[in-house]
Amino acid sequence: MTFRKLRQALGRMDPSAEATPEAVLAILASDPDADPAAEFVRHARARLGMTQGELARELGVSEIAVRKWCDGQRRLLPARVDAILALLARRGAGG
């Protein structure tokens, strides 16, 4: 799923519904060919133009954690999804 498709899916949500980390992961999970967390992190990293190390430093986690998220080897907690969404919003990279 591309980041654009994710944004479109979020746009189709009930306007009163908040784009929570759980909602983002649920939308990504609807793509049977993708690991939702891995796809989300890879697309966010690409949008931000960051290396795994840069994203790790920004989020206060290890580079190994980011690599494992990208490889689908580590579970991405909703709090981390929220932090990545906030980073995208702050950097104006959400669209």
61, pLDDT greater than 90: yes
Between 59 and 88, where is the model more confident? 59
Per-residue pLDDT of 64-95, as tens digits, reads 999 999 888 888 888 898 899 899 888 876 54
Following CA atoms 13, 46, 55, 28 in sequence, which dihedral angle do they give, to the nearest 10 degrees?
30
0.85 surpassed by pTM: no
Query: Which residue, among 60, 66, 13, 17, has the nearest Cα to 40 in the 3D structure?
Result: 66
Q: What would the CATH number be for the domain defined by 3-91? A: 1.10.260
Positions of E strands within the chain: none
Structure letter (DSSP) for residue 2:
-
Residue with token string 């981390």: 80
Q: What is the dihedral of CA 77, 79, 80, 83, to 10 degrees?
A: 170
